[in-house]
Structure 1
Amino acid sequence: MIFKLKPAVFLILLFMSCQSGKLTVVGSIDSDLKEASAAEIVNHTNIVWTIEDAGNKNNVYGMDYKGNIVRDIDVSNIRNEDWEDLTSDDDGNLYIGDFGNNNRKREHFFIYKIEDINSVKDKATADTIHFTLPKNVKSEDFESFFLLNNNFYIFTKETKNFKVLKVPNTLGTHVAKLVTEYNLDGKHNKITSADISDDGKTVVLLNHDKLWKLTDFEDDNFFEGKVETVDFKHDSQKEGICFKDNNTVIITDEDSGKEDNNIYVLKL
């Protein structure tokens, strides 16, 4: 006997088959994007913005939740030295963190602002925020940041103690301020991306096999509240995270050459 599944039942079974640990796979990133290094949703749209890192084009890409490229914007007046993360503000402006520093010799770092990204067609120019490090901070690798109360919070990528720097969201040149240092428990704790919820109550820090959820903090004392580890039970080169809503995050893979590059959803 052959049973025919109704479309709704088929979709439920398909959804259930796409579980990866606590993550739900919702799409596979377009193969043209070899190194999707970030994820950001601007003003509650259905587009996930991403970039590629060092050695790739000066382009910002918009994907749907299935991983298809639906927007491709050439940012003509800047160079991709090592783009690593994205964030945005309430006015719909998108910010590119050009602060990757694998050899730890870099002295000048940049955040690029593209105004009203959702209205841009295929070409844009960007304004520049330039920063250097405070005297008591050595040159480090950065891969993650977010925007809170008109300040950028930028995280160093370290196995043990990492630093959090603060840079104002103002065009021009600034010396970053050291906010704090912290050591997350356990091994393999390099932070690859970060975001804060729209209500400002939850921070997420991404790693390849887990994230850290920070809550119950005041002002920018992020680690003086509750710090929880969320284990994905799944390991891949996850490089982008952003909030879809205050309780849900989108996570993206960068190409590791071992498996498909996916877009995941996780309910916190």
Structure 2
Amino acid sequence: MKKASFMLFLATLTACQTKSQVVDFKETFALDKTHKEVSGMVFHEPTDKLWMLQDKGNPAELYAYTTKGTFVQTLKIINQENTDWEDLSQDKNGNLYIGNFGNNDNKRQDLRILKIDGTKLNESVTEVSQITTFTYEDQKDFPPKKSNLLYDCEAFVTTANYFYLFTKNRSKGFDGTFYVYKIPNRQGSFIAKKIATLKTCENYKKCAVTGAAMNKAETKIALSTHDNVFLIDFKNETSFTQANIKSVALHHNSQKEALTFLDDETLLIADEKEKGANGGKVYTLGLH
């Protein structure tokens, strides 16, 4: 190879490698030691707080932190069980939504999304103001075969009219496939309509979808995995195409289960505290 061609090859290779690297990913603060299993998080502008929830086996509560990491409040949700709370979302009016749809074994038939009125967040106890129950339109067996365990969910975002759910693939022979479903954002029982089949990567530990967030303008969606963030430019449901997914490698593998937009250029990401390991922290990721 001629010297000029070789130098061009090296420059191109370096540019590709640089594009995949994240230099603006850093630890921001540690969570309270009682919050070892944070699985959903939103930055809520009306209260200027980070609201979080924990997953299966934990109390039916939400927890509020300042953006600097001070734990300031617990909100108890009465008359509800934390069957398997897996994500937390919000709408433009400041209402919060709890995704009680964790389904590791793909056999649950009581999947639901719970709405918390944003005006109640300064209280210590509240009730849900809306319950949306649903089933997946294409799930026929509970559970399905091990090669078709595609009906767990740990991620969703909210608009005024719809919830968009992103499933977690637990199939034997994981290939990165996940489904996107649409459900009306209102009280009642619905069939979740599948609107897309997409892929991340073929490494389960790096690419199974664990959380979702939408920016305030509703123009961008971020999906978390243990070692990557996947970004989708959003206009409407036709935006869910393979060509419209951009991956951002974190080069930091931990049990990341939650993320939220602090602003259009900044994500906050939380991981669970793993036994005998690190975790239980919130990180900042700059999107440039």
TM-score by length of 1: 0.86
Identity between Structure 1 and Structure 2 (%): 31
Q: Which residue of 1 aligns with 2:161?
A: 150
Structure 1 residue identity aligned to 2:124:
D
Structure 2 residue identity aligned to 1:58:
A
Alpha carbons of 1:93 and 1:218: their partners in 2 closer, same or farther (altered >3 Å)? closer
Q: Which runs of 5+ in 1 are unaligned?
A: 1-19
Post-superposition CA distance 1:54-91 (Å, at most 9, x none): 11101011112343321101101111100000001111
User: How far is 1:21 from its partner?
Assistant: 5.7
Out of 196, 218, 225, the position equivalent to 1:180 is 196
User: How far is 1:150 from its partner?
Assistant: 2.0
Q: Distance in 2 between matches of 1:136 and 1:236?
A: 30
Q: Does 1:221 align with 2:238?
A: yes
| Higher helix proportion (structure 1 or 2) | 2
User: How far is 1:196 from its partner?
Assistant: 1.4
Q: Does 1:267 align with 2:269?
A: no
Count of equivalent residues: 248
Q: Distance in 1 between matches of 2:248 and 2:141?
A: 30
Q: Which residue of 2 aligns with 1:132?
A: 135
Alpha carbons of 1:196 and 1:138: their partners in 2 closer, same or farther (altered >3 Å)? farther
Q: Distance in 1 between matches of 2:105 and 2:48?
A: 36
Structure 2 residue identity aligned to 1:115:
D
Question: Does the CA-based 8 Å contact 2:29-2:281 persist in structure 1?
Answer: yes
Post-superposition CA distance 1:2-57 (Å, at most 9, x none): xxxxxxxxxxxxxxxxxx96412111011011211111112364311111111110
Structure 2 residue identity aligned to 1:116:
G
Q: Distance in 2 between matches of 1:228 and 1:119?
A: 34
Q: Which residue of 2 aligns with 1:198?
A: 216
User: How far is 1:149 from its partner?
Assistant: 4.3
Structure 2 residue identity aligned to 1:104:
N
Q: Which residue of 2 aligns with 1:16?
A: none
Question: Does the CA-based 8 Å contact 1:166-1:176 persist in structure 2?
Answer: yes
Q: Which residue of 1 aligns with 2:74?
A: 72
Alpha carbons of 1:137 and 1:243: their partners in 2 closer, same or farther (altered >3 Å)? farther
User: How far is 1:119 from its partner?
Assistant: 4.0
Alpha carbons of 1:138 and 1:176: their partners in 2 closer, same or farther (altered >3 Å)? farther
Post-superposition CA distance 1:177-196 (Å, at most 9, x none): 11111122342310000111
Q: Which residue of 1 aligns with 2:56?
A: 54
* Aligned Cα root-mean-square deviation (Å): 1.9
User: Tell me, what secondary structure is at the counterpart of 1:40?
Assistant: strand
Post-superposition CA distance 1:66-125 (Å, at most 9, x none): 433211011011111000000011111110000001111112211001101564310000
TM-score by length of 2: 0.81
Q: Where has structure 1 moved over 6 Å in runs of 4 or more?
A: none
Question: Does the CA-based 8 Å contact 2:222-2:232 persist in structure 1?
Answer: yes
Question: Does the CA-based 8 Å contact 1:39-1:240 persist in structure 2?
Answer: yes
Out of 74, 87, 90, the position equivalent to 1:88 is 90
Q: Distance in 1 between matches of 2:279 and 2:36?
A: 11
